[in-house]
DNA sequence: TCTGGGGTCCTAGGACCC
DNA sequence: TCTGGGGTCCTAGGACCC
């Protein structure tokens, strides 16, 4: 008999698949998508996986291999991926309201209430519709817990005989799937814990599930114990349909070249502060503290000692670009160390609160001035979000458009679906 | 030459209090 | 001379995820 089930819908090679949507000529052609700065490989089509290019590989290390294999290379195009993700999620909601959007390319569905004998047929139909309406291929895993649904989805992807849908519903079937899964591939078991578990002779997910829970708890803590429960069929995680209230908002970038000059860091930090505060305003939130961090090249020995950060607290929570930028620049002045070659920097906005709950300040020097600042901000957001605007058309003076810190992005595809200037052309 | 960005949660240890 | 112990709060760092 079948108990209650969760499904995980997982887009296959999502970014690579997005690049194919408006380029059907790339069907069957090996594709990779690179991270910001064209730094590492963050998505690979099946053909590239077959070539043996690992996930996360630094581009400069695999460049020759990619070229030799005739691989088509893309810089990341998040405007496109975000829009395609929205289309897939919309289809899921038309199937059921009980959906948790887990990431840009994955969602859980609560299948409680679905008759067991029709689940597989329903999921096959859902998969076919997503493919037909968005041209994105997905795999669907079904299991009694989120972690088992994840494992099922992995099986659906790897075992082509399953046709893209896999359900784990019996003990025998579940055990055989766990036995085929390396423990490090289990959702919640990362590199560090994998190493620790392997050293203790725990190699497969089944080995892990068969340990006494106390031992797991002792070895890798409560998070590991939850994963253990889930693998053994007890739910430790539920479907969360309402996204939680965010607790932080970060904008950061690696630089294309090392940066040592304070003035250049100011430009970068001002840009990050503007981006983060804009995102906050979009969600009607405000920040109570601002933290700036500066990082040296993490692949250099001794770089950790060069890293630094500083925090400033605002008198009143704010999401105003001018106020956030001023705070961030003050924090930068505290964190900056002369003579360090910085490779990355960022702004974190913390102690967030919803805007409507903000108390007007009793001691504000000039409420009228605050209003004007607020109105100006609204006007700027309006201009920058207009479909005809180029990115950040209106911005404050501390920022400049060129500099060592700007990222490289040489191979980006057009923003087909979100920019009038970049619509696909039919010829 | 060239190694992503944005999140959350947990834990250990220090500060502080009585 | 003898110099506690337990609780709470905060923070930094480490772990995980996609």
Q: What is the pLDDT, as a whole number, of residue A367? A: 58
Judge whether residue A400 has pLDDT over 60: no
Judge whether residue A235 has pLDDT over 70: yes
Nucleotide with minimal C1' distance from the CA of A298 is B3
Distance from residue A311 (CA) to nucleotide B14 (C1'), in Å? 20
Nucleotide with minimal C1' distance from the CA of A10 is C18
Judge whether residue A105 contacts strand C, using its CB and a 7 Å cut-off: yes
Judge whether residue A119 contacts strand C, using its CB and a 7 Å cut-off: no
Judge whether residue A183 contacts strand C, using its CB and a 7 Å cut-off: no
Q: What is the pLDDT, as a whole number, of residue A426? A: 80
Judge whether residue A290 has pLDDT over 60: yes
Nucleotide with minimal C1' distance from the CA of A105 is C18
Judge whether residue A191 has pLDDT over 80: yes
Nucleotide with minimal C1' distance from the CA of A311 is C11
Residues with CB under 7 A from strand B: A 35-37, 39-40, 42, 56, 58-60, 221-223, 244, 246-254, 257-258, 275, 279, 297, 299, 343-344, 346, 407
Distance from residue A15 (CA) to nucleotide B1 (C1'), in Å? 27
Distance from residue A293 (CA) to nucleotide C3 (C1'), in Å? 42
> Which residue's CA is nearest to the C1' of nucleotide B2?
A60
Judge whether residue A335 contacts strand C, using its CB and a 7 Å cut-off: no
Give the rounded percent of residues in chain A with a pLDDT score beyond 70: 89
At residue A314 the predicted structure's pLDDT band, cuts being 50, 70 and 90, is: very high
Distance from residue A217 (CA) to nucleotide C5 (C1'), in Å? 28
Q: How far is CA A419 from the centre of its chain?
A: 22
At residue A229 the predicted structure's pLDDT band, cuts being 50, 70 and 90, is: very high
Judge whether residue A401 has pLDDT over 60: no
**Across all residues in chain A, what is the average pLDDT?**
90
For strand C, give the nucleotides within 7 A of a protein CB. 14-18
Distance from residue A236 (CA) to nucleotide B15 (C1'), in Å? 34
Judge whether residue A10 has pLDDT over 70: yes
Distance from residue A221 (CA) to nucleotide B11 (C1'), in Å? 9
For strand B, give the nucleotides within 7 A of a protein CB. 1-11
- What are the tokens at A384? 């920058």
At residue A64 the predicted structure's pLDDT band, cuts being 50, 70 and 90, is: very high
Q: What is the pLDDT, as a whole number, of residue A109? A: 98
- Mean pLDDT check: name the lowest of A44-53, A58-67, A372-381: A372-381
Nucleotide with minimal C1' distance from the CA of A103 is C18
Judge whether residue A33 has pLDDT over 90: yes
Judge whether residue A150 contacts strand C, using its CB and a 7 Å cut-off: yes
- Mean pLDDT check: name the lowest of A34-48, A78-92, A146-160, A390-404: A390-404
Distance from residue A150 (CA) to nucleotide B4 (C1'), in Å? 24
Nucleotide with minimal C1' distance from the CA of A188 is C16
Judge whether residue A192 contacts strand C, using its CB and a 7 Å cut-off: yes
At residue A297 the predicted structure's pLDDT band, cuts being 50, 70 and 90, is: confident
Nucleotide with minimal C1' distance from the CA of A37 is B4
């Amino acid at each position: 008999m079948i108990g209650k089930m969760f499904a995980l819908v997982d887009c296959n090679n999502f970014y690579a698949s997005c690049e194919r949507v408006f380029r059907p000529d790339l069907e069957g052609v090996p594709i990779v998508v690179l991270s910001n700065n064209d730094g590492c490989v963050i998505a690979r089509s099946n053909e590239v996986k077959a070539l043996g290019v690992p996930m996360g590989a630094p581009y400069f290390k695999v460049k020759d291999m990619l070229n030799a294999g005739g691989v088509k290379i893309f810089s990341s195009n998040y405007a496109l991926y975000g829009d395609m993700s929205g289309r897939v999620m919309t289809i899921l909601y038309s199937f059921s309201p009980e959906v948790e959007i887990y990431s840009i390319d994955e969602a859980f569905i609560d299948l409680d209430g679905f008759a067991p004998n029709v689940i597989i047929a329903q999921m096959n139909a859902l998969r076919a519709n997503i493919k037909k309406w968005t041209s994105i291929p997905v795999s669907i895993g079904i299991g009694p817990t989120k972690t088992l649904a994840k494992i099922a989805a992995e099986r659906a992807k790897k075992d082509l005989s399953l046709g893209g849908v896999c359900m784990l519903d019996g003990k025998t079937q579940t055990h055989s799937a766990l036995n085929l899964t390396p423990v490090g591939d289990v959702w919640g078991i990362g590199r560090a814990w994998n190493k620790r578990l392997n050293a203790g002779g725990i190699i497969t997910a089944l080995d892990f599930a068969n340990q006494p829970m106390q031992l797991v708890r002792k070895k890798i803590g409560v998070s590991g114990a939850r994963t253990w429960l889930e693998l053994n069929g007890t739910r430790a995680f539920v479907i969360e349909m309402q996204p939680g209230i965010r607790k932080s908002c970060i904008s950061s970038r690696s630089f294309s070249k090392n940066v040592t000059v304070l003035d250049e860091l100011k430009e970068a930090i001002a840009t990050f502060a503007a981006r983060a505060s804009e995102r906050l305003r979009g969600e009607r939130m405000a920040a109570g503290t601002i933290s700036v961090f500066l990082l040296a090249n993490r692949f250099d020995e001794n770089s950790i000692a060069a890293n630094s950060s500083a925090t400033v607290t605002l008198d009143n929570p704010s999401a105003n670009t001018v106020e956030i930028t001023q705070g961030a620049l003050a924090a930068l002045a505290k964190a900056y160390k002369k003579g360090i070659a910085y490779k990355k920097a960022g702004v974190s906005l913390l102690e967030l609160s919803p805007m409507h709950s903000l108390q007007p300040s009793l001691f504000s020097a000039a409420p009228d001035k605050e209003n004007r600042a607020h109105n100006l901000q609204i006007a700027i957001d309006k201009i920058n979000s207009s479909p005809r605007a180029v990115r950040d058309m209106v911005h404050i003076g501390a920022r400049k458009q060129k500099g060592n810190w700007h990222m490289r992005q040489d191979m980006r595809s057009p923003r087909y679906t979100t920019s009038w200037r970049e619509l696909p052309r039919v010829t």
